[in-house]
């Protein structure tokens, strides 16, 4: 049976660890992010995390309901960082574009963590605040609720899907990533035009484009589509 998670107020009264630090949820999450960056998801275990914190591994269960609870906290931290310091301009397209790019950037700053958490729904305060913000922008812009929810769904899933895709590439070893990126020039650019006429015709453009994230382009296309939808309903 899982041990009960101790309320935050009670945790603050705990003694310092062997390294002289007082544990907190934020400290554990930050340490887990560092371990993921340095060792990948396979290197993040309760035992190794306890060692890094100078604490008995069982102590972590006072803060999280197992490793899954820690994973959700890491996901919430990434989505929360995306909105840290963000201020609205009042223009819905500008605001959503900025939030989308911030979400994408926050996840790509921690690619191993992004691969681990992009598909999760945490139900935690910072994630909920982000969802409330996006829905608020859409509804304030004049989108009817069915449209607001439809665009919200597409916006969030697109942001996280590209974050996971691009983070997956960054999480590869340098050798694998370099090999993948070189395929556009070493393989695709050399395909015979009589067999692959369309690839051959666009090979230089593909080589210049395909090793960069398509997220900004996809985001602009989504926002343009949403704008057309709003205008067709008489909105601004």
Q: Which fold has domain 1-64?
A: Arc Repressor Mutant, subunit A (1.10.10)
> How is residue 73 written in tokens?
């906290």
Would you state the pLDDT for residue 29?
94
Would you state the pLDDT for residue 234?
77
Query: Is 87-232 in the same CATH topology as 1-64?
Result: no
Would you state the pLDDT for residue 176?
96
> How is residue 223 written in tokens?
């926002």
Rounded to an integer, what distance in angstroms lies between the CA atom of residue 168 and that of residue 108? 9
What is the gyration radius of the CA atoms in the chain, in angstroms? Answer: 22
Would you state the pLDDT for residue 18?
60
Would you state the pLDDT for residue 21?
67
Would you list the domain boundaries of the chain? 1-64, 87-232
Given the candidates 3.40.50.1970, 1.10.357.10, 3.10.20.740, 3.40.50.1010, the CATH classification of the domain at 87-232 is 1.10.357.10
Q: What is the dihedral of CA 145, 151, 152, 158, to 10 degrees?
A: 170
Cβ neighbours of residue 115 closer than 8 Å, sequence gap 6 or more: 41, 164, 167, 168, 171
pTM of the model: 0.86
Residue stretches of the chain with pLDDT short of 70: 1-21, 235-236
Would you state the pLDDT for residue 17?
59
């Amino acid at each position: 049976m899982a041990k009960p998670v101790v309320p935050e107020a009670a945790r603050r009264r705990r003694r310092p660890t062997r390294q002289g630090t007082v544990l907190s949820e934020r400290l554990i999450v930050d340490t887990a992010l560092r371990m993921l960056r340095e060792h990948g998801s396979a290197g993040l275990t309760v035992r190794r995390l306890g060692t890094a914190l100078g604490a008995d591994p069982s102590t972590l269960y006072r803060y999280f309901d197992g490793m899954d609870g820690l994973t959700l906290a890491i996901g919430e931290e990434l989505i929360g960082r995306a909105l840290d310091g963000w201020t609205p301009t009042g223009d819905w397209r500008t605001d959503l574009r900025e939030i989308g790019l911030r979400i994408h950037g926050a996840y790509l700053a921690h690619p191993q963590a992004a691969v681990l958490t992009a598909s999760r729904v945490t139900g935690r305060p910072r994630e909920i605040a982000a969802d409330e913000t996006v829905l608020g922008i859409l509804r304030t812009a004049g989108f009817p609720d069915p449209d607001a929810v439809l665009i919200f769904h597409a916006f969030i899933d697109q942001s996280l899907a590209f974050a996971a895709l691009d983070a997956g590439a960054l999480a590869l070893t340098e050798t694998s990533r370099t090999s993948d990126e070189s395929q556009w020039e070493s393989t695709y650019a050399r395909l015979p035009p009589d067999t692959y006429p369309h690839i051959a015709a666009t090979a230089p453009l593909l080589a210049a484009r395909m090793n960069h994230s398509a997220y900004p382009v996809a985001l602009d296309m989504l926002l343009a589509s949403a704008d057309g939808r709003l205008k067709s309903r008489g909105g601004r």
